[in-house]
Amino acid sequence: MDIGFKGRFWTFEKRVSGGSFTRVRLDRALGSTDWCSLFPFASLTHYTSASSDHGPIHLELNKSDEMRTGKSRVFHYEVAWETHEGLKEEILASWSSAEAAERIADLKEKLYNLSKSIGGWDRRTFGSVRKEMKTLKQKLEKFRNEPGRMGPS
């Protein structure tokens, strides 16, 4: 059975012969009854592509209850941080601010505190890049969804 989707209704758009413009859902996610019982929270999302007539799709199998309710935040390291000379200083300051880790729980706490410290440094230094990207994606999606638009550009 088709597991459905979130997002726009098409995954492909193109001007076809005769000059008409078409939008169709070419890509689907299908699951058997057994598969659907293994992945009850599976979801498919259609995204907008900035430069292709095919839209990317994202299949997510399972999200924990914490992730669905937004109670847990995953730390994401950004390679772009390495271009800033203040990163090393921030890491050293955060890591050395706590005592040496003697147990796994201590190490976990040091890593947690380091992630919070770097996250704050990121927002102060780079601003909210993810928020800006989300806003730009929403603007692109709105533009791409305009009924009178005549092409994938």
The better pLDDT of the pair 93, 66 is held by 93
Task: Please choose, from the candidates 3, 10, 1, the residue with its C-alpha nearest in 3D space to the C-alpha of residue 144.
Answer: 10
Average pLDDT over residues 65-76: 60
Rounded to whole angstroms, how far apart are CA atoms 82 and 85? 7
**pLDDT over 70 at 135, yes or no:** yes
Question: C-alpha dihedral over 139, 143, 145, 148, to 10 degrees?
Answer: 160
Tens of pLDDT, residues 4-62: 888 777 787 777 777 777 877 877 888 888 888 888 888 888 887 777 777 888 888 87
Q: Say what percent of the chain tops pLDDT 90.
A: 18
Q: Read off the pLDDT band of 66 (50, 70, 90).
A: very low
CB 53 within 8 A of CB 12: yes
